[in-house]
Amino acid sequence: MKIIGLTGGIGSGKSMITQYLIDQGIAVIDADQLSRDIVKPSTPGLKKIAESFGQEYLLDDGELDRAKMGELVFKDKEKLSLLNSLLHPILRAEIKREIECFRSKGHTLVILDAAILIESKMQDLVDEIWLVYADQETQIERIMKRDGFTRAQVIARIGSQMPIEEKKKHADIIIDNNQSPEKTIEQVKKIVSAAESN
């Protein structure tokens, strides 16, 4: 079984490609969803957060106060490292569990959809990295349209991520999504069949 890490900056078109892969019946692990699941009420992840950061980071209904936690880790890098050190091992274990689940079902290809694959040092979990790439102006225009953000808001979000040129250094395959969705899907079809055949 081959495991592919699919990554890309905000607005690069990763969700569009992931949706196509799901529609084709390919096994996709959603790392972003898993990272939310592992801090749901009554999980070991949320218990760790409460122990390390205090009960004040939980809402009355037992959910994580994402806004408050986000605010803290955004301005304090040490707290961000602490949070990551609590949650990354749990996230990795969950990803491994899903990989094994797909393996036992006989899948030959699994896609790990993870925007922060490289930042979270999850490269060792995958055999190959595919990077979805759109140039910055295209990214900006698509996100402004998708999310209704101003240009400055989009630039701030892009700026908070690892620069795409840095990500390119880690990629085995770059999916160019500067043209039409059809052109992009053509590339994806080719690399999927190549990945399935070896």
Binding site for ligand ADP (CB under 6 A): 8, 10-16, 142, 146, 177, 180-181, 184
**79 within 8 A of 73, measured Cβ to Cβ:** yes
- Of the two residues 4 and 46, which places its CB atom closer to ligand ADP in the complex? 4
Cβ within 8 Å of residue 22, ≥6 positions away? 28
Q: Which helix (H) or strand (E) holds 30?
A: strand 27-30
Cα distance between residue 19 and residue 25, in whole Å: 10
- Would you say 86 or 139 has its CB closer to ligand ADP? 139
* Chain position whose Cβ is nearest to ligand ADP: 15
3-state secondary structure (DSSP) of residue 3 = strand
The least CB distance from residue 37 to ligand ADP, in Å, is: 19
Find out whether 87 and 45 touch, Cβ atoms under 8 Å.
yes
Closer residue to ligand ADP (CB): 41 or 181: 181
Q: In terms of CB distance, is 86 or 187 closer to ligand ADP?
A: 187
Give the nearest distance from C-beta 14 to ligand ADP in angstroms. Answer: 4
Rounded to a whole number of angstroms, the minimum distance from the CB of residue 3 to ligand ADP is 20
Minimum Å distance from CB 180 to ligand ADP? 6
- In this structure, the chain runs to a length of 198
